[in-house]
Structures are given as structure tokens and as C-alpha cells.
Amino acid sequence: MQNSIVSRDEWLTARKALLTRELAMTHELDALRTERRQLPWVRLEKDYVFDSATGKRTLADLFGSRSQLAVYHFMLTPGSGHICPGCSFTMDHVDGARQHFEQADLAFAAVSRASVEEIEAAKSRLGWSFPWVSSGDGDFNYDFAVSFTPEAREAGRALYNYGRTPIEKASDMFGVSVFVKNEDGAIFHTYSTYHRGTELLMGAFNWLDLAPKGRNETGGTMSWVRLHDTY
């Protein structure tokens, strides 16, 4: 790897030109974030219930004392024994960050279809402390388009990422959903994102994007990513 070598003054000229583009992109992202916050909401009519290591938990329970809740849809399929490296990469960022965003009225929980025992084993292995609950055979994962029945896959009705990606093999995918609870206890779905939309949660990528090799994905997207205890 070798870029062109220039004088300090030439480098500064190039860097200032890039800064102009960076500032424009920052302002565009600010506008996009504002538009995201202004999306309409959908009131939830179902009472979703999850299993946890401490017993049954409703979706309302996952808010705790906060009025906002971010849910990460973690790909942990019942009985598979496979812990998704991409989901794990994302979750490695959570415990450090949530001590801050919880102070800004945002709770967090991960949700998977796997059993509580499988979830607790993964948490213990990887040293995570964030809330992580099981949706089991309930509707939650299916309603938020991250799990797909064999019948739906066979019929070509398993559509992911707002219909952009047909799912033929995987029974579970990943994503993020955000909810709000008002003072009378009503819960509203405000936002969901899937696939590369979850990259905004992967802080390590932002560090790598500053370096000359970038994400160094020589073998394909996230080719080097592993569970952090296998590096």
C-alpha cells in the first residue's frame, strides 16, 4: 500500500478540499437525522411478552424508567448454536455506550428467538451485561420482519429490509427498532433499520474509516470480523 507522497503544504491543500466535502456531508446528515426524528409513529396493539433470566418481561418492562427504547434484533436462532459475528461486533459497542445514552432517556434491550439458556450462555461467554430477552415463539420477531417461517421462505414471501432482500435460507436476520412510551403507557413504533442501516452503531468502523486501509475487507464485507474471544 502506497499513496502519493507530497510536501506538507500540498497535503494541507488536499486536506482542506476534503474538509469542505466533510462539512457538507455533516450538514446533510444533520438534515437526515432531523427528518428521521420527524417520522410518524404507529401505536402498538399487541402486548408482546418475552422470557428473561428473571422471568417474564413485557415490552413495556424493557423501557424501565425511560420513555424511549432501542431494540437490537440479534440473530440467535433457537438450537443453532451459532452466534452471529456481525451481531456480536455490533453488541461489543453497547455496554460502554448505554451508560451514556440511558442518561438521555433511551433504554436498550436485545431480542432473539433463542431460549433464555442460549442467550445467557452467549452473554456469559462474551462478557456482556445489557438486557437480552427471548421472544421465543411469539410474534415480535415476525412482526418486525427479522424472522421468517419456512412456509414464507418457500413461497417467496420472506422479504427483508423493506422488501429489498428476499430471504431463502436464513430463518432470522438482524436490525434495530425504536419505540416510545407515553405517560398513559401506550407504546409506539417510531423507526426500524436493517442490513447496512445498522452500521451507524458500529463505532469500530468509524475508527477504521479514518485509516488508509479503511475497513480492510479484503475477503468481502466484514471478512475479518470474529467473535472477540476468537481473535
The pLDDT, as a whole number, for residue 171 is 95
CA distance 80 to 225: 20
The pLDDT, as a whole number, for residue 219 is 83
Q: pLDDT by residue for the chain (231 residues), tens digit each?
A: 789 999 999 999 999 999 999 999 999 999 999 999 999 999 999 999 999 999 999 999 999 999 999 999 999 999 999 999 999 999 999 999 999 999 999 999 999 999 999 999 999 999 999 999 999 999 999 999 999 999 999 999 999 999 999 998 899 999 999 999 999 999 999 999 999 999 999 999 999 999 999 999 888 889 999 999 999
The pLDDT, as a whole number, for residue 169 is 87
The pLDDT, as a whole number, for residue 43 is 98
**pTM, rounded to two decimals:** 0.94
CA distance 146 to 114: 13
The pLDDT, as a whole number, for residue 212 is 93
Instruction: Report residue 132 as a C-alpha cell.
Output: 437480552
The pLDDT, as a whole number, for residue 166 is 93
Q: Are 28 and 156 in contact (CB under 8 A)?
A: no
Comparing CA positions, the residue from 157, 158, 106, 111 lying closest to residue 131 is 111
The pLDDT, as a whole number, for residue 227 is 96
**Following DSSP, what letter does each residue of 17-63 receive, concatenated?**
HHHHHHHHHHHHHHHHHHHHHT---EE--S--EEEETTEEEEHHHHT
The pLDDT, as a whole number, for residue 179 is 98
Q: Name every residue whose Cβ is closer than 8 Å to that of residue 227 and which is 6 or more positions away in sequence.
A: 83, 85, 88, 126
- CATH classification of 42-205, choosing from 3.40.50.1100, 3.40.30.10, 3.20.20.70, 3.40.250.10? 3.40.30.10
The pLDDT, as a whole number, for residue 218 is 87
